[in-house]
Amino acid sequence: MSALSNARWILLSQAARTVIQLSSLVVLSRLLNPTEYGLMAMVTVVTNFVYLLRDMGTAAAVVQKEELNEDTTSTVFWLNVGTGVVLGVLLIVLAQFIAGAYRTPRLAPVLWVVALVFPLSSTSAVHQALLERANRFRTVARIEVVALLVGLVVALLLAWQGAGVYSLAFQTLCTIAAATLQLWLASKWRPTMRWSQSEFRALWGFSGNFTGFTFINYFARNADAMVIGRVLGSVQLGIYAQAYRVMMFPLQSMTFVANRALFPVMSRQQSDTQRMAQLYLRALGLIATVTAPMMAGLWLLREPFVLVALGHQWTEVASVLAWLAPVGFVQSLTSTIGTVFMSKGRTDIMLRLGLFSTALQLSAFFIGARWGIVSVAMCYLVANVINFFPAFHVTLRQMNASLGDLLDAIGKPVAAAVVMVAALWPLLDLLKSQQVAAWTLLLILAPVGALVFIGFMLLISPGTVRDFRRFAGNV
């Protein structure tokens, strides 16, 4: 029940974030020229990498710890503040060098502004972790939405006054400042002048492995672009990137919501492996209920979807999506594995599994790149399937569960997705033979597929449907 409630508030926050970001894009793009956005994109490349080091997993450690004391929270607070100050100062010192590397002198002062984000955000990391530990996601969601609105208003006012790229830089800074202030007001905890060397050493076992996994995952997520860009060139990379974006856009938000909602609840149950397994498998069943029909529908309707969403110049994307759509389903499940190891405090195993997965993916990219982007996508699917079974075997062992339990949890939505595809396929062929327009195909087949899937799930898994009703209601 707590996990469903958490997920509902996180999803609302994500939806509001998407609306605010789209509104910002629509309005600011009319007040700023492409050069200003290009400068901010350069800044983002740098800051995204620095963000990996922001709290080094210490906030997650606060959520995960079974017993929390003042020595732990204060030690984490001062460690985060120290790290934030160091990162901010380093970014200020290196700003001229980074600007020189980009051959864009205007970049340095923008980096100086954005560098203030790191010491500022570090002062509220523990406060947010404590709120999430207490499952106060309604409060966290409100804070995030209000902060985004503050940032948007600041950006609009500055852009209207001709501030250019600084309107985007101060949007980021003011969003963080508004969030930090609200987090301090919402949390009753206040830091004390304490530092425990023993707590620091205990935290480093968790946080060090977590940070290592984050770096590996960051590298793995960007390795395909590096390999394809170098071996096959920018045109092929552009086609692959569009297909990957289509596949990942709905899944990134979904897995972010699921992991963030599950982590504090599972951490509180880390000693009760049976309840932890029940919660995790139930969550996987819900995720599969969403992603199985979504990815199956994308696979079946990939050609009309690409024509409607992207246009005729992107028709090659459909061939890549034929292999990336099943990857999307597999990754919607495997991306939750880290939550189990973090909840159990076994980030060392998570790091080793991350190394194994990255080695598989890199091999797939290098092998597939010899024959083109479709082969890259095909090999990527093979690597994900190979990784699926040992990764889940090790994960489920942490909770005394088995692969059989996993198949029981996801089997019904997968079966319903297969039935949906089988029902839609002949209808798709019939409509294609009548030369029905692509947008008409989507308007007809998408709702029909949804009805078939929901109807079959009502027959074979009414409990899953009840979970979704609870999710939509006031849990």
The full set of domain ranges for the chain reads 2-195, 212-472
Res 88 pLDDT > 50: yes
Res 330 pLDDT > 90: yes
What confidence tier does 474 reach under pLDDT thresholds 50, 70, 90? very low
Rounded Cα–Cα distance for residues 377 and 269 (Å): 38
Query: What pLDDT is attached to residue 471?
Result: 56
Secondary structure tally for the chain: helices H, strands E: 20, 0
Whole-number CA gyration radius for the chain = 23
Query: What pLDDT is attached to residue 475?
Result: 40
The pLDDT of 415-429, averaged and rounded, is: 94
Res 219 pLDDT > 80: no
The pLDDT of 389-398, averaged and rounded, is: 93
Counting every residue written for the chain, the total comes to 475
Selection from 19-33, 184-198, 389-403 with the highest mean pLDDT: 389-403
The pLDDT of 295-322, averaged and rounded, is: 89
Q: What is the DSSP letter of 473?
A: S
Selection from 65-69, 100-104, 230-234, 289-293 with the highest mean pLDDT: 289-293
Res 167 pLDDT > 80: yes
Rounded Cα–Cα distance for residues 218 and 152 (Å): 28
Res 50 pLDDT > 70: no
What confidence tier does 445 reach under pLDDT thresholds 50, 70, 90? very high
Res 333 pLDDT > 60: yes
The CB-side HSE value for 360 (13 A sphere, CA atoms) comes to 19
Q: Which range among 115-119, 194-198, 462-466 shows the weakest confidence by mean pLDDT?
A: 462-466
What confidence tier does 206 reach under pLDDT thresholds 50, 70, 90? confident
Query: What pLDDT is attached to residue 223?
Result: 77
Query: Distance between alpha carbon 162 and the CA centroid of its chain, in Å?
Result: 34
Rounded Cα–Cα distance for residues 286 and 294 (Å): 13
pLDDT, tens digit, for every residue of 227-266? 887 788 767 877 887 788 788 766 766 777 777 677 777 7
The pLDDT of 137-166, averaged and rounded, is: 88
Express as a percent the part of the chain with pLDDT over 70: 90
3 state DSSP class of 253? helix
Give the Cα-Cα-Cα angle 391, 396, 400 (nearest 5 degrees): 150
Query: Judging by beta carbons within 10 Å of its beta carbon (0-12, 13-18, 19+), is residue 282 exposed, middle or buried?
Result: middle
Question: Residues near 343 by Cβ (< 8 Å), separated by ≥ 6?
Answer: 64, 262, 263, 266, 267, 269, 270, 276
Query: What pLDDT is attached to residue 251?
Result: 73
Query: What pLDDT is attached to residue 473?
Result: 53
More confident residue, 408 or 267: 408
Res 290 pLDDT > 90: no
- Tell me which H or E stretch contains 314: none
The pLDDT of 262-277, averaged and rounded, is: 77
The pLDDT of 444-455, averaged and rounded, is: 93
* Cβ contact 256:18 at 8 Å: no
